[in-house]
Amino acid sequence: MRSPDHEESELIQILLDIQKEEHWLSKEALEKVAAKLNVPLSRVQHVATFYKAFSLVPKGRHEINVCMGTACHVRGAPRVLDVVQNLTGIRPGETDGDMKFSLDTVNCLGCCALGPVIEVDHEQLGKLAPSKAAELLKKYD
């Protein structure tokens, strides 16, 4: 049974695939997708900027996500974020100059029993006191 999808409905799915593969969406990638699906580039850009999953700048070697879910928040996530910001010198959404770390916040990783949690390169590290977070980041290069 063929589903009656319109091809352009695949736009978000295709961008997600590229994001997963390349860790960001380059201008060239956006142009290619627009041409392939025959939709205006402006619409591709609208989608790429509307949804949080997409990054329009390249990511560093290590991607840090600090969970800012409610459970982590009440257990001290803002303090963990402070320390991570100080240590990396970047703020959420940024990548440092030598492309070592990219920092982001996420709304909930769903492992609230471990809060506060941060995720480095998709590995979840839980029950983080600010001092532990500092210790932990030192081992990445």
Which stretches of the chain bind another protein, using CB under 8 A?
1, 3-6, 8-13, 15-16, 43, 46-47, 50-54, 68-71, 73-76, 78-79, 82-83, 86, 106-115, 117, 124, 126, 129-131, 134
- Measuring CA to CA, which residue among 88, 16, 91, 82 is closest to residue 55? 16
Decide whether 54 or 140 has the Cβ nearer to another protein: 54
* Three-class DSSP category at 67: strand
Residue 27 C-beta: closest distance to another protein, Å: 19
Decide whether 1 or 139 has the Cβ nearer to another protein: 1
Length of the chain in terms of residues written: 141
Q: What are phi and psi of 34, to 5 degrees?
A: -60, -45
Residue 141 C-beta: closest distance to another protein, Å: 21
Residue 116 C-beta: closest distance to another protein, Å: 11
Dihedral, 89, 29, 123, 140 alpha carbons, nearest 10: -40
Residue 85 C-beta: closest distance to another protein, Å: 10
- Measuring CA to CA, which residue among 113, 134, 137, 135 is closest to residue 123? 137
Beta bridge partners of 82: none
- Measuring CA to CA, which residue among 139, 127, 137, 140 is closest to residue 87? 137
